Structure 1
Amino acid sequence: MSGPETADGRDWRVFRATGAAPSGPPPQLLPAPPWRRFRGGPAQPAPPHDEQAALRRLGEVDAVPQLDGDSIDVVNAALLLRRPLLVTGAPGVGKSTLAHLVSRELGLGRVLEWNIVSRTTLRDGLYAHDALGRAQAIAAWRAGLRPHGTTGADDRDEEEPLPPALGDFITLGPLGTALLPYDRPRVLLVDELDKSDIDLPNDLLHVLENGSYEIPELVRDAADGARVRTSDPGCSAQLRQGRVECREFPVVVITSNGEREFPAAFRRRCLPLEMRTPTREQLLAIVDSHLRVRPPDAEALVDLFTRQVEEGGTHSLDQLLNAVQMTTAGAFPADASGRKLLDMLLRDLAKGR
């Protein structure tokens, strides 16, 4: 997809929606607007990759874009402006998959996933403090200072162990990890925000606008810095004075099934993207990318799936993939009993059964 070039001759679009991983150096984003530049530090190591998660979500790459041209432009605008994407659409249309599509194509590493429920709070996304675990560790440390039978410090040859560090009991959540100072943006998926308590979108405003937050427990701690765990398995980060500020604002993909309206102040900070059911060509490309072969019945099932959606039914891409996969199973019955099973897999989800 070609388009207008910038003053230095580069196409302003870096995202093509094919999901193809970069063959060489990953594409570089254009500089952020002055009002979206941040100065967090110290810089964190590059995040790990999770190719297995990408394969589950996307399958192998395919040359067919999985979004239409207008949607691709909206995603690129969000990348350029460093603003969150508010993605709406019917359940199962591929909203959350968009985060993995962007991450793989731009080489941004493991996607951080924050799954929202009615009890979710802003702090859940930022960090967790295991206060009980720390209290138990401190009690054990104090008990270990005077082992049974000793009379004082002069009777011990070894140095006294240090008290448990506060940072050992703090773990950054997906949002908190995404806002660490990486040289390239992380991808954060905030899934089904419309399931949240009514206050969460408003609570997010400050963090999304300022790209920073504080951990009060570390701010009050006497130590100047602390090493804490992150949401990436086996990874940690060094924090200064309990404050976190990004260097590059993360690529934030917020999904919603349209079950509620969000406050105007929240919507103003996001770019809206409505995802529609993929075209027939895109559906066939998705089947090919996951199965790597096109079964004989694939086109007929895609046509049936498309027709059901056009008639107003509620259907998920998972249903189509499941139905096509069934036709590849050995000895799958091609008679009426097989047809009945396929109809069950492609049932209208709005009917509740």
Structure 2
Amino acid sequence: MNGTWMIYGANGYTGELIARTAVEQGLKPILGGRNKEKIHALARELGLESRLFSLNESANVQEGLAGVDLVLHCAGPFSQTSAPMIEACIKAGVHYLDITGEIGVFEHAHAPAQSNRAQEAGVVICSGVGFDVVPTDCIALKLKELLPNATHLSLGFDSDSGISPGTFKTMLQGLSSGSAERKNGIITEFPLGTKHRFIDFGKGSRSAMAIPWGDVSTAFYTTGIPNINTWIPMPTYKIVGARSMKWLKPILAKPMLQKALRTWVDKSITGPDEEARKNSPAYIWGEATTATGEKRTVRIQTANVYSLTVYGALAITTRLLETDLPGGSYTPATLFGSELIEQLPGSGTFQIE
């Protein structure tokens, strides 16, 4: 592999998993972040270079990125950290990847203000190189290939994978908002729990609820399909309970409560261990339809969501450093094709109906 790359936020749950697996694969990333004690300790253990810098001062970030060809950004909350890192990468001529699943971050990454400047600088910007949204993005592109005139796209997943501290914090932040879908090309919000259906994700038909998953943003840039919604399995009683969240939104949005909840997460949530990750695969599903009612369905089984994030992030990192691509904003599937997901460890092959 050619090029020097950095994992920024390597002290987090997923960042550390990626760093350890990278070393197992013979890779030598630089470990970057803000937590001096944790970053230095992990770097010493793995025999890697480390750099400490925050994203608050542009000059510090530019210094931290000196000599780096690519940043794999793993430091959340991405709604706060992604924009300054993208800006620094464009200025420094450094490729940018991250593992977010947040719609707002994807929209920022694909906005002309970023995409056009990245193209001019020869910088690749690709948000969502982990479970959010590699498998669903690949299914989206596969469905577009199978049904080029599709007008509606539904995507979803089923997994009992446990949860990391960073993901839990993002979920808590999202409790103060609703759900979202794309209608006629425009992202539209609606109350959580108000849209439901039955879906066979790969283990039989189950009740499911529409959620604001990242593909509401990214699948549009991958496929051009104007109507997109995203789903997870959810028992009916929980869907009913989710509807009541709209009454709690003003309370859940209060900064003091959000801060208290994040503190609780830091003390209480550790993320799934290796055994849990090995025994909890994910089941990914997608469905495309045309204006005349023609329909195609695609499913695939993959590794655990956190393991897949590690595999996906490292695969895209190494391929990007070995490939000369034009600058601009990409999704995982527009970078390396719908077959990318089938090539990752733990993945099966597409099952097409």
Q: TM-score, normalised by structure 1?
A: 0.25
Q: TM-score, normalised by structure 2?
A: 0.25
